[in-house]
Structure 1
Amino acid sequence: MSENNPFPNENNTGHFWDDNLRELSNDPPGWWRIGFHASWIFCIVYFVLYPALPSLDGYTKGTMGWTAVGEYKQDLSAIDQVREKWERQINDPATTPAMIIADDELRNYTVRSAKVLFGDYCAACHGAGGAGNAAMSVSESGYPVLADDDWLYGGTVEQIQTTINNGRKGIMTPYGARLSSDEIEDLAKHVVALSEGSEHAAGKALFMEPTKGGCFACHGMDAKGLAPLGSANLTDAVWRFDVQGGGDNRLASARHTIAHGVNGELMDPQSRNAVMPAFGPLGKSLSEGTIKKLAVYVHQLGGGK
């Protein structure tokens, strides 16, 4: 293909295809040469300044002594300096969660910084944003919603702090050995009816009868629950042991709870397990400041009182 050169005066390599397609031997443009030389010079400078090449005992350290870990620690230190004034206030034993909420600037900082803490310690059970996790079956316990205004032990920020710090473990006696299946059915229907704004006559009689159900002793004469005992309000539509799908599942769930109780494993192996672990000194040992942050965050989810 190079036997006949139709362009004898042109700076080409003598390689031709189809008479017109040819390979030239011109020098590359100046901008390309500058870029090429700048590239290898940059590589040499980079290798001198920064860690770059592996060696028998590790790697070249670079004259600047830079490391990714060192840069991370510097950035973290800078962030800690910005946060210091708020962290100092939160960690002060004299600062209460109520005082944090009353200070707009401190409250905003606390809520934003506690979002990560909530994801680390709470979201696995209570869901992102405190949405809760309903049980998959009537025998499971699920986890309560934290974003509504229904609270077993009270929804003030102080009560929430106590719950996080000390944990909670309420107990409901299993009635499977005391009541007949028909009586349990009547009570379950009454509980469902209460949540819908009505009553079930036979179930109500058992609810108020001390020698039978006697439910009023814990849930109150009005069935609205007693915060010191952690007993549920049975008159609203919020269910501690809700089941995905609702409807008939709620009747089955109420029937199971009445028959087998809550946290009564010693009396009934099928009893529901519903325990909030302690995050204070008796549990996971989170710092007092961290517990304050979580209490304020949960309170600010929308249901705090």
Structure 2
Amino acid sequence: MADDKNPFPGENNTGHVWDDNIRELNNPIPRWWMIGFWASIIWWVAYGLLYPMIPLANDWTKGMLGWTMTGEYQEAVEEITAVRAQFEDQISALSAKEILADEGLTSYTIASARVLFGDNCAACHGSAGQGNPGFPVLADDDWLYGGSIEAIEQTLINGRRGMMIAHGKMLSDQEISTLANFVVGWSQGQEDPAGAQLYKDKGCFGCHGQDGKGLQMLGSANLTDAIWRFNEADKVAGAAYTIRHGVNDPSDPQTREAVMPAFKDRLSENDIKKLAVYVYSLGGGQ
């Protein structure tokens, strides 16, 4: 636009005017902005020379420093391993029981076992040992095979597979109902002479004991503590189902399944000790 037609003559604008007074000025870019612009280009070039940056057909530019994220990760792991080595060496030389006798080593073991527990145990037993449906609670004092550190360690090493035979073909529906009501009432402190007699007559005490508290050598359940592995809302119906179909009984396709896998071939000896100490801290001690 010629200056004589420019409504703002003498102003450093491009001559582009909209709505009578909105115009495009022709001022130079601020010096600080240009410095930042060229500095960013220099920084980009320097970064590309020093670090991996540009992908190629089958490779990438390595950078003059030879830095990689994997290398940095490995260095960090080596640093952590060096710090932990003194504790790991002690764990290797001690039994799980001896670890518990050392307060500082126990604290380290429990802290380092949390990830192990989350990776290997939490799916069944819950993130805090509270037990998911159909799986044992680890945060109480009820232990089928005993809650000593030695018993817990053996459970982790060899696993557990309890067995209760299915009584559906041995007992009548009425007898199963009587026994189910008896054991649920027993756990609540109720007395049922007829149920108690049937409990004895059918030999239930052979596995669960005369007092109903179970036998750790067999891993049989304590029937008097109101703690139920298969904790259905209807306790009587749940107990009747277990009596009828048993637990891990291969002869009954509807049997309850209750298997703890062995970890001796999955985890190192140190990891098993750590888990034993961790689980013991949740609720062991018997």
TM-score band by shorter chain is: over 0.9
Cα distance in 1 for residues equivalent to 2:98 and 2:128 = 23
Cross-structure match for 1:138: none
Cα distance in 2 for residues equivalent to 1:22 and 1:285 = 75
Question: Is residue 149–residue 284 contact of structure 2 (8 Å, CA) maintained in 1?
Answer: no
Question: Is residue 186–residue 200 contact of structure 1 (8 Å, CA) maintained in 2?
Answer: no
Structure 1 residues without counterparts, runs of 5 or longer: 135-141
Cross-structure match for 1:291: 272
RMSD: 1.5
SS in 2 for 1:14: strand
Cα distance in 2 for residues equivalent to 1:201 and 1:127 = 39
Cross-structure match for 2:261: 277
| Pairing 1:240–2:229 present | yes
SS in 1 for 2:23: strand
SS in 1 for 2:16: strand
Q: TM-score, normalised by structure 1?
A: 0.89
Structure 2 residues without counterparts, runs of 5 or longer: none
Cross-structure match for 1:171: 163
1:230 to 212, 216, 219: 219
Letter in 2 for 1:237: A
Letter in 2 for 1:223: G
How many residues were matched structurally?
285
Give the share of equivalent positions with the same residue, in percent.
Answer: 56
Cα distance per residue 1:219-277 (max 9 Å; x no partner) = 1111011111101111111101212xx2xx21111101111111111x32222121111
Cα distance per residue 1:183-235 (max 9 Å; x no partner) = 111000011101111122221111112xxx21111111110111111011111
Cα distance in 2 for residues equivalent to 1:304 and 1:18 = 87
| Pairing 1:156–2:140 present | no
2:210 to 211, 221, 227: 221
Question: Is residue 14–residue 23 contact of structure 1 (8 Å, CA) maintained in 2?
Answer: yes
Cα distance in 2 for residues equivalent to 1:34 and 1:106 = 57
Cross-structure match for 2:73: 72
Cross-structure match for 1:139: none
Cα distance in 2 for residues equivalent to 1:55 and 1:184 = 74
SS in 1 for 2:161: coil
SS in 1 for 2:229: coil
Moved more, 27-36 or 147-156: 27-36
SS in 2 for 1:300: helix
Cα distance in 2 for residues equivalent to 1:303 and 1:20 = 84
Letter in 1 for 2:36: G
Letter in 2 for 1:179: L
Question: Is residue 298–residue 304 contact of structure 1 (8 Å, CA) maintained in 2?
Answer: no
Question: Is residue 149–residue 304 contact of structure 1 (8 Å, CA) maintained in 2?
Answer: yes
Cα distance per residue 1:47-74 (max 9 Å; x no partner) = 1011111123311111111111111111
Q: State the shift of 1:172 in Å.
A: 1.1
Gap change, CA 1:4 and 1:197, over 3 Å in 2: farther
Cross-structure match for 1:256: 241
Question: Is residue 118–residue 294 contact of structure 1 (8 Å, CA) maintained in 2?
Answer: yes
Moved more, 184-193 or 294-303: 294-303
SS in 2 for 1:40: helix
Q: State the shift of 1:17 in Å.
A: 1.7
SS in 2 for 1:58: coil
Cα distance in 2 for residues equivalent to 1:85 and 1:51 = 36
Q: State the shift of 1:303 in Å.
A: 4.3
Cross-structure match for 2:34: 33
Cα distance per residue 1:92-134 (max 9 Å; x no partner) = 2xx1112222222211111111111111111111111111122
SS in 1 for 2:160: coil
Question: Is residue 163–residue 249 contact of structure 2 (8 Å, CA) maintained in 1?
Answer: yes
Q: TM-score, normalised by structure 2?
A: 0.95
SS in 2 for 1:13: strand
Cross-structure match for 1:82: 83
Question: Is residue 100–residue 106 contact of structure 1 (8 Å, CA) maintained in 2?
Answer: yes
SS in 2 for 1:128: coil
